[in-house]
């Protein structure tokens, strides 16, 4: 085994909430393997608030919209990042033409420049990892595979989950707010995402409302709708079309990502469309059940599927390859997720994770 004193590690993620939350598995693996190293995390501005007090991230390096879209500003910041700190390890979790500049600018300074094996990257990355081939596992496993070249210098300690953390004062503050808004914590409290930022990820409205009504009727559950931006009008419409049922709450909003974490951590369960809020719930160890739309593979995006974390996908009923072979339309594939099929899987999962 080669000897290398690892003092500084740079993890490049970018993208959106869900991707970054799943990255915490890799960051925790790096923390366990190199406990004395500084771990810096490159992320989009705004998302970084999730990691301000995270034990596996020492510093967030953020890029705002202008820096991301202005090539001159972007390259200046990349150069400054890798020359202000001499990194021993750079892990490029995206490995795009754009993110490769970090490794290119540090080619003679950083011995381990690791990324995904793609058609490019030769001569820039020191190690290219084929972690997206068929059968490599879920996204948590795939992310951790990017550590494999480091077995040359350390005994790898890979995490089998991903975690977020909420400050106790913030959690208690939100608990009080929820009580003030009418939540009774002696009854089940469910955080739900009936909508989503990307419309193609959303279960059709009538199906979603039918399932939500079944949850209310069978569990007397209080359902807090989570939404952001333009999703607000859709969530309010769902509430109205469900008869303004008092079990549904749209008056408890989380204005920031740390607030969303506090809200989720006070709930007994999560249900809804797959996306960032579901990843946050799982990272906080909140039992969850997600709707996976066509082309979003549950086998990839749902690590540790089992008694606590579950979901449903069109692939559960018609294998993905068969869907493609039969040239099924997106609508036909989504139609495989009927309210009856969802409830058949959701009801026992709810019963096993919350009190009636």
Domain shared by 148 and 225, yes or no: no
Is-contact 115 103, C-beta < 8 A?
yes
Mean pLDDT score across all residues of the chain:
94
What tens digit of pLDDT does each residue of 81-103 get?
999 999 999 999 999 999 999 99
Tell me, yes or no, whether 163 lies in a domain: no
Domain shared by 102 and 131, yes or no: yes
Tell me, yes or no, whether 258 lies in a domain: yes
Domain shared by 104 and 208, yes or no: no
Tell me, yes or no, whether 1 lies in a domain: no
What tens digit of pLDDT does each residue of 239-270 get?
999 999 999 999 999 999 999 999 999 999 99
Tell me, yes or no, whether 295 lies in a domain: yes
Domain shared by 176 and 141, yes or no: no
> What is the number of domains present in the chain?
2
Mean pLDDT of 293-319: 95
Q: How confident is the model at residue 134 (pLDDT cuts 50, 70, 90)?
A: confident
CATH code for position 72: 3.40.50.2000
pLDDT at 355: 65
Domain shared by 81 and 172, yes or no: no
What tens digit of pLDDT does each residue of 217-243 get?
999 999 999 988 788 888 999 999 999
Last residue of a domain, one of 152, 182, 206: 152
Domain shared by 145 and 177, yes or no: no
Mean pLDDT of 47-73: 95
Last residue of a domain, one of 108, 127, 152: 152
Domain shared by 251 and 305, yes or no: yes
Residue 293 clears pLDDT 90, i.e. is over it: yes
pTM (two decimals)? 0.94
Domain shared by 276 and 347, yes or no: yes
Last residue of a domain, one of 152, 184, 218: 152
Domain holding 26, by residue range, is 8-152
Domain shared by 135 and 229, yes or no: no
Tell me, yes or no, whether 222 lies in a domain: yes
Residue 199 clears pLDDT 80, i.e. is over it: no
Domain shared by 222 and 145, yes or no: no
Domain shared by 241 and 148, yes or no: no
pLDDT at 1: 65
Tell me, yes or no, whether 44 lies in a domain: yes
Residue 2 clears pLDDT 80, i.e. is over it: no
Tell me, yes or no, whether 52 lies in a domain: yes
Domain shared by 208 and 79, yes or no: no
Tell me, yes or no, whether 158 lies in a domain: no
Q: How confident is the model at residue 356 (pLDDT cuts 50, 70, 90)?
A: very low
């Amino acid at each position: 085994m080669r000897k290398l004193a690892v003092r500084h590690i740079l993890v490049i993620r970018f993208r959106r909430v869900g991707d970054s939350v799943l990255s915490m598995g890799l960051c925790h693996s790096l923390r366990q393997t190199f406990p004395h190293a500084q771990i810096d995390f490159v992320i989009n501005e705004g998302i970084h608030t999730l990691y301000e007090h995270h034990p596996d991230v020492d510093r967030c390096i953020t890029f705002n919209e202008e820096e991301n879209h202005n090539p001159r500003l972007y390259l200046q910041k990349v150069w400054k990042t890798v020359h202000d700190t001499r990194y021993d390890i750079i892990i490029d979790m995206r490995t795009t033409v754009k993110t490769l500049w970090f490794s290119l600018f540090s080619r003679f300074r950083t011995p381990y420049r690791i990324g995904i094996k793609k058609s490019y990257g030769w001569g820039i990355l020191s190690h290219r990892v084929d972690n997206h081939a068929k059968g490599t596992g879920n996204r948590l496993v795939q992310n951790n595979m990017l550590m494999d070249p480091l077995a040359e210098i350390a005994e790898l300690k890979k995490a089998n989950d991903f975690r977020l953390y909420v400050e106790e004062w913030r959690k208690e503050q939100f608990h009080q707010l929820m009580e003030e808004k009418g939540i009774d914590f002696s009854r089940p409290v469910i955080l739900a995402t009936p909508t989503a930022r990307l419309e193609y990820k959303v279960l059709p409205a009538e199906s979603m409302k039918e399932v939500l009504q079944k949850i209310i009727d069978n569990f007397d559950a209080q359902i807090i709708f989570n939404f952001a931006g333009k999703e607000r009008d859709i969530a309010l419409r769902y509430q109205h079309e469900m008869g303004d049922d008092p079990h549904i709450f749209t008056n408890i909003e989380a204005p920031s990502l740390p607030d969303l974490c506090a809200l989720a951590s006070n709930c007994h369960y999560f249900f809804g469309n797959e996306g960032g809020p579901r990843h946050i719930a799982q990272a906080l160890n909140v039992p969850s059940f997600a709707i996976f739309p066509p082309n979003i593979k549950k086998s990839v995006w749902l690590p540790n599927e089992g008694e606590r974390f579950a979901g449903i996908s069109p692939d559960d009923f018609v294998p993905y390859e068969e869907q493609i072979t039969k040239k099924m339309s997106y609508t036909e594939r989504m139609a495989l997720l009927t309210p009856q099929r969802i409830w058949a899987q959701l009801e026992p999962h709810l019963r096993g994770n919350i009190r009636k």
